[in-house]
Structure 1
Amino acid sequence: MQNIETLASWIEQSDNIVFFGGAGTSTESGIPDFRSAAGLYQTEQHSPYPPEQMLSRSFFMKMPEIFFDFYRSKMLHPDAKPNGCHRFLAKLEELGKLKAIVTQNIDGLHQKAGSEEVLELHGSVHRNYCMDCRRFFGLEQVMASKHLVPRCPYCQGIVKPDVVLYEEALDQQVLIGAMDAIANADLLLVGGTSLTVHPAAELVSYFQGTRSVLLNMDPTPYDKRADLVIHDKIGEVMDQVGRILGI
């Protein structure tokens, strides 16, 4: 409880907070992470193709049917709802204390909770584009497609999710925005991430502020560098902090 009270006091004293998060931010919303014991990479070990391979650009181009079968069944969670972490961060942004969310997630739950300044390092399932004519489509249109591999209704090109696959580069504008936001923060909250996926994990090194906090169920390479470490469910922690601060 003392760590949570400390976190609450630091948030109260800060006015340029940035949150950097990963898959663990959304596990309490029913979306599995990747590398934990119950994560996607562990539960899919008996598949003919490992998830890392199925989520690569080369696999997408060679076997789009298998890609989309996996993508639809494992990566899409349209009914998921924001949890305590998403809601609390949205409130902090509304109060003007949180300046940006830098996320590795593609689920759009931060926006669903009401956050606007969200830098999506790995894209979003809610954006999809035709690889031929470049028209964009929402998630609903992709899910409603009668074809296993969704096709553009205008030119019949393949509609690709606007997510960063293995072998693809991050969007440079989003990456630069994330670097700037973290570099200018006075309090950095790092949550729900193993900090093992690069280059995203390297972004925490740009932090030059006063205090940094690590919130994650399991230890990470950043634990020794953080000023405060809380190994607990991030949604429950943020709910408690919100009650302490009355927001």
Structure 2
Amino acid sequence: MTGTEKLQELIDRSARIVFFGGAGVSTESGIPDFRSVDGLYNQQYKYPPETIISHTFFTRRPEEFYEFYRAKMLAPDAKPNPAHLKLAEMEAAGRLSAVITQNIDGLHQAAGSREVLELHGSVHRNYCMDCRRFYDARFILASQGVPRCVCGGVVKPDVVLYEESLDGGTLERAVQEISACDLLIIGGTSLAVYPAAGLIRYCGGRIAVINKSATPMDGQADLLVQEPIGRVLGAIRVRAPR
């Protein structure tokens, strides 16, 4: 039995499924991850990427932050891939309770998913730091230098930078979903980013890991599939819950 067939069996036996995903879910849509061979951490910049996307760097060197942010963090032409689409289909069929994502690209919503918990925020939400006026990603792309609100304030992406805390309400909802599920599908993440990766410990059900490289959960997972996540999830047949 293949890994995909075993995953199908687990899904068919489960009543409440939650998906926990990371950058590997979106690489098949052309969005680079951070830690792979071709990821942002292995490219050469004047400063390390983790330094550039920190709160301190944003505060002290906003022009350079936005230069990197526009070039590397925004992907306006990216489209949902089979993994995003299958998860949306599973939710629509009543098989998936929630998507918990570390990604900030909004592709799960673009695919049709409704219950999406964005642990690290979204590039599609941007706010004036003074008056809280909302701006979309197109505004950031069209701006030059440091984007400014009509009131003159700096417009900041609603994404969690290094040195910033995750939203408490989103974390609480994620814990509730993971605690209540009987199958947690972990996909496209190395589980190296905390505190997000620490949420896995709240799962009392079965765990399936779909990731091309090793993760700390491999030895504890009920199922490990080291194949491209789009191929694996794309092959799943969605059946109505029993």
User: Shorter-normalised TM-score: what interval?
Assistant: over 0.9
Aligned to 1:231: 226
The match for 2:133 is 135
Give the SS at the match of 2:123.
strand
2:90 is aligned to 92
Q: CA deviation at 1:136?
A: 1.2
Is contact 2:83–2:233 with CA below 8 Å preserved after alignment?
yes
- Between the aligned partners of 1:148 and 1:93, the Cα distance in structure 2 is 40
How many angstroms apart in 2 are the aligned matches of 1:234 and 1:139?
27
Partner of 1:216: 211
Which residue number in structure 1 is paired with residue 186 of structure 2?
190
- Check if 1:177 corresponds to 2:173: yes
1:36 corresponds in structure 2 to 36
Post-superposition shift, 1:48? 1.7
The correspondence for 1:71, drawn from 69, 72, 79, is: 69
Deviation at 1:148, TM superposition (A): 1.6
The one-letter code sitting in structure 2 at the alignment partner of 1:23 is A
Output the CA distance in 1 between the equivalents of 2:132 and 2:187. 34
Who is 1:150 aligned against?
Answer: 147
Of 129-138 and 103-112, deviating more is 129-138
Q: Which amino acid aligns with 2:114?
A: E
CA contact (8 A) 2:12 2:239 kept: no
1:45-64 to structure 2, matched below 5 A, reads 46-64=44-62
Letter of the structure 1 residue corresponding to residue 60 of structure 2: K
Distance in 2 between residues matched to 1:10 and 1:201, nearest whole Å: 22
When normalised by structure 2's length, the TM-score is 0.97
Alpha-carbon deviation of 1:12? 1.6
Deviations 1:129-155 (A, max 9, x none): 00011111111122222x3211002x1
Instruction: Kindly provide the amino acid, as one letter, of the partner of residue 84 in structure 2.
Output: H
Q: TM-score, normalised by structure 1?
A: 0.95
Whole-Å separation in 2 of the counterparts to 1:68 and 1:170: 21
Residue of structure 1 in register with 2:103 after alignment: 105
> How many angstroms apart in 1 are the aligned matches of 2:83 and 2:112?
12
RMSD across aligned positions (CA): 1.2
The answer to whether the 8 A contact 2:93-2:239 is kept is: no
Q: Which residue of 2 aligns with 1:25?
A: 25
Instruction: Write the deviation string for residues 23-55 of structure 1: whole angstroms up to 9, x where unpaired.
Output: 000000000110011111102xx3221001000
- Counterpart of 2:8 in structure 1 is 8
1:246 is displaced (CA, Å) by: 7.1
Partner secondary structure for residue 127 of structure 2:
strand
Q: Where does the alignment leave 5 or more consecutive residues of structure 2 unmatched?
A: none
Matched residue count: 240
Q: Identical aligned pairs, as a percentage?
A: 57
What is the distance in 2 between the residues matched to 1:171 and 1:246? 34
> Structure 1: how far apart are the matches of 2:142 and 2:34?
26
